[in-house]
Amino acid sequence: MSETVSTSGAAPAAPYGGTRPNAEQKRKKVTVTRLAQMRADGEKIAVLTAYDATFAAFADSAGVDCVLVGDSLGMVCQGRSSTVSVSLEEMRYHTQCVAQGLERHGSTALLIADLPYGTFHQSREQAFASAVVLMQAGAQMIKLEGGGWTVEIVAFLTERGIPVCAHLGLTPQTVAALGGYKVQGRQADEARQMKADALALEAAGASLLVLEMVPAELATSITSQMKSCATIGIGAGSGTAGQVLVMHDMLGMNLGRMAKFVRNFMQGSSSIEGAFAAYVAAVKDGSFPNNEQHAW
């Protein structure tokens, strides 16, 4: 396939998604070191899910710091009713698609990929082997859901050079055991346990910690106790070091009832890239989430 040759200095036209011009890279490449610096400087971290090359490249050029290939793809891409049946091979495939999209467009964003259910639960060795599959597909950080029992897995991975994002609160892979998509950590004992788990995960080397559907007070308190690990909230108020949303939700593309903590960034934007940029701006200036965008 030959691309149209440009005579004007503009980027050549290319079919099937096109080729982005090499935009001047004013932003710094996002690495684990840069994330730690952003946390220390109080610069909010904007994370967004993406599952294919084109959306990932647009998210990156809109200024998203981290692109997450979430196992939410089971629900938003595959139409399943939960994330539980997403396989490692499916995660590998989508991670590779996103990695190729980001690489081809000279991206800045850091690529995080989810370890799906059942691929890290048996042993540290199983977790390492699964993480390697995603790292070799292009991930730069691995996310895994779970509390205290994951601490030794996180240590095992980070000691072997795999950056880790932990995930506490509402953990969708175990939604059956949690009795539904409910706020977590309301009770004093649950909140105490979550704080202890967060500190242990940080000590085990986690670089990021997703806090999902957690009361704002608790998320803010955990955030203030962290020394190096940056908290990323979803339905956890505005006191975390960053925010994450599922891309389809923030584009208003939800076939059911939209979670209360989501904002539709297509409202007021004339393009998807504009909606991504509005999300990044709102995370960075602290205007998302506001007092109405919460999970409780």
How big is the site for ligand KIV, counted in residues (CB under 6 A)?
Answer: 10
Figure out which of the listed residues 60, 71, 197, 202 binds ligand KIV, where binding follows CB under 6 A.
71
In the complex, least distance from residue 69 CB atom to ligand KIV, rounded to whole angstroms: 8
Figure out which of the listed residues 246, 262, 278, 295 binds ligand KIV, where binding follows CB under 6 A.
246
Distance (Å, rounded) from C-alpha 162 to C-alpha 222? 24
Distance (Å, rounded) from C-alpha 291 to C-alpha 216? 10
Contact between residue 279 and residue 288 where contact means Cβ atoms under 8 Å apart: yes
The stretch near ligand KIV (CB under 6 A) out of 63-71, 91-99, 183-191, 277-285 is: 63-71
Residue 23 CA: distances (Å) to CA of 60, 75, 98, 265: 11, 33, 19, 24
Measured at the CA of 147, the angle between CA 146 and CA 153, to 5 degrees, comes to 75
The stretch near ligand KIV (CB under 6 A) out of 68-76, 130-138, 183-191, 218-226 is: 68-76
Tokens coding 294: 């919460």
Distance (Å, rounded) from C-alpha 57 to C-alpha 67? 9
Distance (Å, rounded) from C-alpha 82 to C-alpha 102? 27
Beta strands in 7-150 (DSSP E): 45-49, 66-69, 110-114, 141-145
Active site residue 43: no
**By CB under 6 A, is residue 114 in contact with ligand KIV?**
yes
Nearer to ligand KIV, 62 or 211 (CB): 211
Query: Which one, of 212, 287, 209, 207, lies nearest residue 245 by Cα?
Result: 212
Figure out which of the listed residues 62, 127, 131, 244 binds ligand KIV, where binding follows CB under 6 A.
244
In the complex, least distance from residue 143 CB atom to ligand KIV, rounded to whole angstroms: 7
User: Considering 90, 125, 212, 273, which one is annotated as catalytic?
Assistant: 212
In the complex, least distance from residue 208 CB atom to ligand KIV, rounded to whole angstroms: 10
**Residues in contact with ligand KIV, shown as a per-residue x/- string from 188 to 227 under the rule CB under 6 A:** ----------------------x-----------------
**By CB under 6 A, is residue 70 in contact with ligand KIV?**
yes
Query: Which one, of 86, 103, 61, 104, lies nearest residue 143 by Cα?
Result: 86
Binding footprint of ligand KIV on the chain (CB under 6 A): 49, 68, 70-72, 114, 210, 234, 244, 246
Which residues participate in catalysis according to the annotation?
A: 212
